[in-house]
A = this chain, B = another copy of it.
């Protein structure tokens, strides 16, 4: 087995560029099955395919890339098909929308309630989901001081991951 992976889905926060990605995917699909089961939701073949396509890498994937990939796979598909699947998956917390990129990534720990943050590497394009409780809470509290009740948070940062810093000259 490869490099620095641990056994938890959340381990992608520390993943290497050459981690065992097959495992990421397998875990993600297994989690998805469990989440759907638990919620009484149906992970149809189409939804599953979209989820798999998103999990092909840790680079956020655009809706139309997914669409093209589905068509390459021989399936007939149109934008609403993809967006419906995305809406479904996001609703269950199985994927996250990356607002600054108009793209989507698989959620690395969909089973737990979380308010995550995302790091986006300008070098390799990979997204890394992290969860710093003090950020989510600090934002909630800071807003509350102004009487503002937060329902939803979007926290995205771009920059360079460790390996892309080494690579850069």
Contact = CB atoms under 8 A, between A and B. Distances in A.
Q: Which residue among A100, A119, A152, A154 has the maximum number of chain B CB atoms within 10 Å of its CB?
A: A154
Contact of A165 (B117, B121, B147, B165): B147
Contacts of A154: 99-100, 154-157
Contacts of A142: 117, 130, 132, 135
Q: Which residue among A148, A150, A154 has the maximum number of chain B CB atoms within 10 Å of its CB?
A: A148
Interface in A5-63: 13-14
Contacts of A81: none
A160 B138 CA distance: 17
The 3 closest A-B pairs by CB, nearest first: A147-B162, A99-B99, A150-B159
